[in-house]
Structures are given as C-alpha cells and as structure tokens.
Amino acid sequence: MAGRGDSRDRLEVEPRGSFWLGRLASEQSVLQNQLGARGERLDPCAIEMRLRPARPDGAWDFTVVARACTWSRHGEGDWRKDRPVTLRIPVHVDLGDTEASFGAADFASELSAAGGGGRSAEIRVEVERWHRHTELVVSLVNTSPPHGRTHPDTHLYETSFDVLGLDMVPFTLEALPDSFRYDRDLPALGRNCGVIEIPDGLRTTDFVTADKPRPQYWAHQAPEPDLRFATLATDPLPQLAGLVAEVRRWGEDNWSDVVLDERASTKGWSQEMRRQAAGAAELWSAELARLDRGLELLRNEDTLRRAFQLANEAIEHAARDRYERWRPFQVGFLLGALNGLVEPTDADTVDTVWFATGGGKTETYLGLLVTAALYDRLTGKEQGITAWSRFPLRMLSLQQTQRFADALAGAELLRRRERLGGAPIRLGFFVGQAGTPNSIPLDAQDGQPDPHDPNMPGHFQVLLRCPFCHRSDLRMDFDRAAWTLQHICPHDDCPWPDQALPFHVVDQEIYRFLPAVVVGTLDKAALLGMQAAARGFVGPPLGVCSMPGHGYCYAPRSKTPNGCLVPGCRGERTALRQPRDRWAPRLRLQDELHLLRDSLGAVDAHYEAVMDHLQRALGGPQAKIVASSATLTGFDRQVDVLYQRAARVFPQPGPSSARSFWSQDSDELARRYVAVAPRGVTLDFVSDRTLSVLQESVRRLHDDPTAVCNEAGIDPMHVQHLIDNYGVEVVYGNTVRDVEAARRSLDTQLGFAVNAETLTGATPFDDVRRTLDRLDTPEPELENRLHVIAASSMMSHGVDIDRLNVMVMLGLPLTTAEFIQTTARVGRRHPGLVYVLHRIAREREAATFSQFDKFVQQGDRFVEPIPVTRRSRRVLALTTPGLVEARRLLIHEPASGGALTTIKKLRQYVSAAGITEQTELADLVEALGLDGPLDELLRHDLQQWLRAYFAALHDPATAAKWPNELSPGGVVMRSLRDVEESAPVIETI
C-alpha cells in the first residue's frame, strides 16, 4: 500500500515525507505542537477505539494485538525499514480503574530487537463511566522521544491493533434521528482511524471503506410488466394496469397494519417510530391513488392516451437503441403526473422526484415534457412555451441539453408524421451571455458577437450531435436573412427536412420563436424585470411580425418600432390567432431543488411569486411545478417558501432504506468509497501520489497485461475493458482554485506525461464539448487519450460518461447533497471507485470520517436542512425594483397600447389608468404572499418603497431620466445571485 509503505523496505528520503497512512508521531512532539487539537489530527500520536462493553460494571479481560514498525537511517539518503513487530498484549481492567497502560516494556524490547532502538509505545485503556453506558477507550500511543540527532525519525509506521475476546454492544449514531427505516448501530468509534469487525473482535484501519450497491428496479415474484417504449406506444393499458395491480399487492404485503405491528414488535420500535410508519403508509396509499387516477385518465381520455403513446415513440427515438424500456419508477411517476396535465387544481401541489442519482430522473422529466408538448398540440395550443426547465448551476450541462434535444426531435418528427399542425416543437437553450449570446447586434461592439465574422457561429455550438440522425458532424452558421444562429446538419438523408435544426441558443431568438421547451439557468428569471420580450414566458406576446421567419413582436422601441426583434425589420405587427389563455407555460421544472437555499432561494422565492402573478394577470392558468431534489429533509417547508404550494414526493420511500416497491439493493456493486485521512503531509501531495499510482497501474496493465493479470487473477480477455473504463480519473475540487492547482500539479508531480483537461463553470463551451467528445469516443492509443479530468461542481450535475469510474475528491464538498451528486458521476454503468481525501484538521471532516460508512449508506439523512425564507427585509429590498419593473414591462406597457419608456409617458399612463401606490401595493402583497400578521414590517417596507417611487414619478423635477431609474434604492437585479454589494476595481500604474 503506497500510503503506508508496506511494500517498501528502502528509501532515499525521510519516510515521514513519503507515507501518510499508518504513521504515529511522538506523543511529546504532539504535546509541544502549538496547533493543539488541530495539530494532533494532522499528525497524531495515537490511534483510538471507543467501545461499549456488554457488562457496563465490573472488571474486563481482553487481548490487544498491536502491530508497528520503524525506519532507521543508515547513511545519507539511505533509509531502511526495520523488521515489523506484532505484540499480543493481555489487558485486565479492575472495577475501580479509570485508566491503565499495558505493554510498554514489551514494545520497547520488541522494537529494539527489530532494529528500532530508542522507540517505544504502549496500550492505554481509559474507563468513562459517566455516559449512559460505560465506555472503554483503547489506544495505541507512540511514547518515543521527539526526533533528534540520534533518532532522526521516531514515528511508528504501519500501525494497527485488534481488540479480541471482549463482549460488546453497539453505539447508536446520535447525529441522526430515530427512524423505523434505518439502522443507526455502530460497532465502535474510531479516532484517527477506522474500525472494522473481525472474528472475535474489532480492528483499526487506516482508511474506511463503504460500498454502495447498485439498485435493481424490479425485485418481485410477479413477472415485470412489458414497459418497452414500443409496447407503450401501441397498447399501453394492459401493461400499465398490471404495474398498478402489482403496486397494490406489494403495498398490502408491506404497509398493512398487521405487517407494521409485526415489524414494530420484532424490531423493538418506539411508539413514535410506529406512528411514523403509520404516516408513511398513508402517504403510500395516496401515491397508489394517483397511479389509479393516471390509469383511469389514459383509459377514458383518448387525446391524453394518444399523447402518451406518441411520447413513448419520441423517447424511443431519443434512446437510439441504447435502452428500449422504462424503469418501473419512471412509468409510475408519469402515471401520477398525468393528472397535472388535465386538472388545473393539481398545480396547487409541487411534485418532487426523489430518486438515486443515475436512476433516470432526466429521462423521467423528458417523458412528461414530451407528453405535455404533444398534448398541447393535440388540444389546440399550436404555439408558445409548454415547459420552462430551470437549473440552479451557472453553467448547464451540454449532455443534459443534448438529451432534451433528442427527445424533442422525436416529438417533432411525430408531430409532422401525425400532421398535428402548429409550430415546430423547438428547444431553447436559455443561459445568456456567460455561454451564449443575449442578442446578435447589427453593429457589434467589443465583446459582442459579430454577424460579419465567419468564425463567430462556431463559438456557440451547444449540441454534440444532430438530434434527428444522431451524427456528430454538425456545423454552425449565421443566417442574415432570418437573423438566426443555426445548428445545421449537413446530411441530405437526415430525417429533419430543413437546413437549420429547431434549436435556439440566442436569447432574442427564444423570445422571437417561443420554443415548446426552454431549458436554462435559474438566473434568467431576472430578465422578467428587464426585458419586455420576456412576456412570452408568462403570457402571450403582443403580436407576430408580418415578415416570414421573424417571429413574435413585443413592446415597440426606437430601434424596433413594430416590436419585432430582427434589426431593421420593416414588417408590421399582426394579431395573434391563439387564445390568450393558451400561451403561458403549462409546466415549470426545477432541477436540484436542494440548491435553492440561503440568499439564492430567498430571491428566487420572490421571482417565483411574480411569475405566478404575471401568468394569472395575463390570463393564463397557474403553471404546474415539478422538481427534483437530493433530500427530503424539510422539503415540504422549502416548497412552501419557494412556491407557496403544498409539497408531494415521488416515489415514497419504502418500509426500509434498502427496499421499496420501485427499487431494491442488489448484490452488484455500484461504487466503493474509500475515506482517507492523510497524516503529516498535504492533501495535494496525497492527491498527486494517488493519481500517480492509479495511472501507473493502468499503464502497467497496458504494457505488460499477462504479468498483471496473473498477479491479480484476472482473465486477460478483460484487459481492454479495464483500460477503457478505468484509464481516466476525475480529481474533484470544491473550489476553482483547488481545481486549477490540481491541474497544474499534474504537469509537474506525476513523473510521466499525463493528458488532462479542466471542467469548471468557466470552461468555454467549445472546450467542454471537445472534452466530452474525447471522453465518450476515446482515441485508439492510450498515450493519446485523456487520462485525468480536473473538475468542480459543474461536474456534479448532468455529466454522464460511462468511462468515468474513478474519482479522487480533494476534501468533502461543502454540503452532503453535493457529495451525493458528485460521486454519482462515477460508476454509472461499471463499478466505481471514489477516494475521499479528508481535510482531517477540519472538525466536520474529522467527524464524518469517524462515521463514514453511515454517511455513505444513509447519505440522504445527513443532508442539511435547507435554510431559506421568503420573509427577508434585505431580500425584499433587492427584489422590489425588479418586481415593479416586471409589472411595468409585462402588464402596464402592453395595456397602455404604446411604449412606457419615458417618465412622461409612464406618468400619463398611471394617471389615466388610476394606478396608485395603494393599487400596486395590494397586487405585490398578494403576489408575494405577505398578507400575514408576521409580514407587517415587510408590507411597511414595500409601502415606503412604492411611496418614494410614485413621489419621484410625479415630481416634475425628478432627476430620473428613464422609468427604471425611479427606484428609491437599488437597481433591478441582473441575476438572482446579485446579492452582494459591488466594489469598484481601479487600475493604477
């Protein structure tokens, strides 16, 4: 083991600079360390096992088997390992003892005989009787003197010990609440080490491993229903009825009162645990009722059934023969969600998908989106947005976007085949200036995309392949006549008959064409307070341009007198044909709900409220919100804060953590987690050495496969599979600085050439696309392939590459949810290996290391409650300018029949329309839900802001030139993350 030095017996450098596991510093040197407890964790002098003896009072007799070795210097640059020693030490603790030590003389003698003269150690036992149950603390302590001239290294190496022959009872993990679903028992607690169970006792380890099994999605005696896309596209009802019937049978076998009472008796549940189980059974019954309702709708609603069948064909197109069927939980979600497409009151509840990362949540979303888009076309909505899908990360995954495009391409081919009419089913990529253009101006300034530059389009390619024919040789072009940035498939035999794909990446194009599905970042909601053209996201545009291919019109401006967003357009605005109540999105999807926390969540809560308010004011029904989350901890409160709606989760967890109807742990390994707490060296050093060993291992397998296979007992037929799927590692950093440092280190510290790339939110789209392509389709020769990816949180969402199966984490992520999401990027198809390098000096990481197995197995229970509130005066002060501007741009300006772009025009309009401080206050209070007794201060702040706003508006001498300058404090947020004060940066020479 490289970190301990087991296989090394000679070194040219000091061993304490080479090894980071199994080493113990001198106790005296630790006591002299000015860092105190933090210093002791960085380079400890003892490993410790905390136990609970079965007999809490009395004398105890047991045996400790301890192991250690030393290194000695035999000359300059000549370090040699001394013979390892193993001691079997009998321990007797009397009734009145509080602490005792054992084996000191034996250790000194054995170490000296082995060549480690001057080094010493002992076993210490402390008795702590003040706990509810007496605890014994057993330690192996290095009692050697500090380093000196005679003994330049007095560390002990390769240390461990066993405790044998003592009857013990487990600890209960108090950090987690009691639950009928989970086992909280721990055999012992380790300090500066892990603890594993062995025959007749326990053993310390230098690292902690935890295995995560791969779920199986059907583990029932009854045959699995035929959930192939092709089957559900032709005759879905028999198979769906069979699925629902099996759900009902399983519920009767697992959630009935008789079964729960029996489990309560055998497992020793408390009354509270039994009450929890009864409540969970009621939620299960409600879930079953939703499945029944979805099945009933498909039986009785011909149009909905047709949309569902066509959606299955569309998903089959997107699957490209990679898979041919749904997983049962995906179909269960779709069945339960169908009511939301036909019943307006269902929008009062937010449905949250909670399933293991990698289980297929994105495809589940897509099934619902495609069904909704086709149902809209079948029921008369021929234009406008069906669904707005928002992701909280700054940069959207290109792979995830491609999956959206593939599914919608299938839907569009079916729309054409079935002659459904209406606009093409398009996809909009709505991320804005950080990745794609907000607009393409006629006369570009510095930093803006230049329509005259032939290379400009190539910088904004988003799709990895054609979503219709699935070939990857797309090209980019700018069509000056249509003023559109186009992804073009060059193949004449592509099923898509037009040149430009129905895919838009420029903000203004999205406003012009209002794609059926818009996928983008959360931040873009801020545009509601900045862009009159954002009206299409909450209601009808103001018209359609008479010029072919120009799209919809919005409020007139000096450069766009008819409201058409194409530069220099001379067309006229014509009336819309579609009823005004059909334009607003039917669905709003929120991915990674757990990331909407703190200030970001508080700001978004206000913008969610104004979106609902605008949609109602413009004549549309309330949108149905569907979300996904990594945690159920406090999700119902979070949903109430963000959306002012009730919360519902699918699927309901089963009666145990390892088993529900929808999934069950299998015997197949998904990921093995290895927690490492480096001692005495930096985390960067350990990361470099770990990556070096991993890469050396792959290269040795490549260069000498026969020898390696013989040593490992592997059939040589698997060599290429192992090289392909374990030849690239991910090193994950919590900050961009960590990632960049790791990337630089790869060039200098590994001792051989490594091909590495970086994936962060700042990585340009071109580079991301090239990197993903190289990972997906590696070069033939190993030396030419990518070997290491240095990544940040951008990697933790929507990156699905089957070849990524090894990860090195530089410290625990800041939240448990990020740990879950990030580590799920490896082991998607093949068993994954995750090295978690703990920053052991940090209290949180030290605590997690001591209970790492439970942290992995019950990770969702460790996810921190989501801190978020809608009732923040500071946040209200930030959002009010944008909320007021959104009403001016999207409600008042269209109602005025002209442009409210000057103070004079706005003043005339509000006077004529009877709009006052009080009318605006009433609307905003209603929208934000600030009508409760606890909201008095917030209402007061809002009233004071509006009073100052209207005073400035009616003041002839106001200094404001434009309406958006009337704000008495602050400006409209450009992003939902604009929550900090900005500071000027001044260059001086």
Contact predicate 3/20, CB 8 Å: yes
Show the tokens assigned to 988: 């001086």
Confidence at 798, pLDDT banded by 50, 70, 90 = low
Q: Mean pLDDT over residues 522-540, rounded?
A: 95
Q: Write the DSSP string, 638-703.
A: HHHHHHSSEEEEESPP-SBTTB-SS-EEEEEEEEEEEEE---SS-HHHHHHHHHHHHHHHHHHHHH
What are the helix and strand counts (H, E) for the chain? 29, 35
Instruction: Find out whether 972 and 964 touch, Cβ atoms under 8 Å.
Output: yes
- Whole-number Å distance between alpha carbons of 161 and 67: 6
pLDDT greater at residue 288 or residue 655: 288
**Any residues with CB less than 8 A from the CB of 158 and at least 6 apart, and which?**
4, 5, 6, 22, 67, 68, 69, 84
Widest Cα–Cα separation across the chain = 102
The mean pLDDT of 191-216, rounded to a whole number, is 93
For residues 481 and 689, what is the distance between their CA atoms, to the nearest angstrom? 57
- Give the Å distances, CA to CA, from 203 to 66, 347, 392: 10, 55, 44
User: Which pLDDT does position 2 carry in this prediction?
Assistant: 79
CB neighbour list of residue 502: distance below 8 Å, 6 or more residues apart = 408, 409, 412, 424, 425, 426, 427, 496, 515
Higher pLDDT, 174 or 485: 485
d(CA 106, CA 91): 13
The DSSP-derived string for 128-171 is E-SSSS-EEEEEEEE-PPPP-SS-S---BEEEEEEEES--B--E
For residue 579, give every residue at least 6 positions away whose Cβ sits within 8 Å of its Cβ, in sequence order, or none.
none
Least confident of 415-419, 542-546, 976-980: 976-980
Q: Which of 172-181, 321-330, 929-938 has the lowest mean pLDDT?
A: 172-181
Average pLDDT over residues 805-825: 90
Report which of 467, 550, 542 is spatially closest to residue 508, judged by C-alpha positions.
550
How many C-beta neighbours within 10 Å does residue 524 have? 21
Q: Over 60: is that where the pLDDT of 982 sits?
A: no
Tokens at 201, concatenated = 């006792």
Report the pLDDT value the prediction gives residue 647, as an integer from 0 to 100. Answer: 95
pLDDT at 571: 94
- pLDDT over threshold 60, residue 395: no
Q: Is 709 helix (H, G, I), strand (E, B) or coil?
A: helix
Rounded mean pLDDT, 77-98: 93
More confident residue, 737 or 120: 120
Q: Say which residues have a Cβ less than 8 Å from residue 564's Cβ, sequence separation at least 6.
A: 512, 545, 547, 550, 551, 553, 571, 573
**At 225, is the pLDDT very low, low, confident or very high (cuts 50, 70, 90)?**
very high
Lowest-confidence region among 204-218, 735-749, 950-964 = 735-749
pLDDT in tens, 152-194: 899 999 999 999 999 999 998 876 777 778 888 889 999 999 9
User: Does the pLDDT at position 322 exceed 80?
Assistant: yes
Rg (C-alpha) for the chain, rounded Å, is 32
Average pLDDT of the residues of the chain:
91
Predicted pLDDT of residue 396: 62
Residue 770 is predicted with a pLDDT of: 87
The angle, 0 to 180 degrees and rounded to 10, between the axes of the packed helices 236-255 and 302-319 is 90
518: left (phi over 0), alpha (psi -120 to 50) or beta: beta
Mention every residue, 6+ apart, whose C-beta is less than 8 A from residue 795: 730, 732, 759, 789, 822, 825
Quickly list DSSP for 594-605.
Answer: GG--HHHHHHHH
Cβ-based neighbour number of residue 273 at 10 Å: 18
246 backbone φψ class: left, alpha, beta (φ>0; ψ -120 to 50): alpha
- Stretch 110-137: mean pLDDT: 93
- Provide the token pair at 800: 């699905």
Question: Is residue 400 classed as helix, strand or coil in its secondary structure?
Answer: helix
Which residues are CB-contacts of 224 (< 8 A; sequence separation ≥ 6)? 218, 328
**Is the pLDDT at 797 greater than 90, yes or no?**
no
Q: Is the dihedral of CA 400, 401, 402, 405 positive or negative?
A: positive
Is residue 499 pLDDT above 60, yes or no? yes
3-state helix, strand, coil in the chain (%, to 5): 40, 20, 40
Cα atoms found within 13 Å of the Cα of residue 607, Cβ hemisphere only: 31
% of the chain with per-residue pLDDT over 90 = 70
3-state secondary structure of 829: coil
**Cα dihedral 641, 643, 645, 649 in deg (nearest 10):** -90
Q: What is the pLDDT of residues 726-755, one digit of tens each?
A: 999 999 998 888 888 888 888 777 778 889
The whole-model pTM stands at: 0.89
Q: Name the token pair of 925.
A: 């209070």
**pLDDT(630) > 80:** no
782 and 701 Cβ atoms separated by less than 8 Å = no
pLDDT surpassing 60 at residue 988 = no
Question: CATH number of 678-837: 3.30.420.480, 3.40.50.1220, 3.40.50.300, 3.40.50.720?
Answer: 3.40.50.300
Beta-carbon neighbour count of residue 98 at 10 Å?
A: 10
pLDDT in tens, 877-932: 999 999 999 999 999 999 999 999 999 999 999 999 999 999 999 999 999 999 99
Q: Between 370 and 94, name the one with better pLDDT.
A: 370
Residue 946: which of 928, 978, 919, 927 has the closest Cα?
Answer: 919
Instruction: Report d(CA 437, CA 460) in Å as an integer.
Output: 8
Q: What pLDDT does 989 receive?
A: 39
- Give the burial class of 988: count Cβ atoms within 10 A of its Cβ; 0-12 exposed, 13-18 middle, 19 or more buried: exposed
The letter for the amino acid at 375 is Y
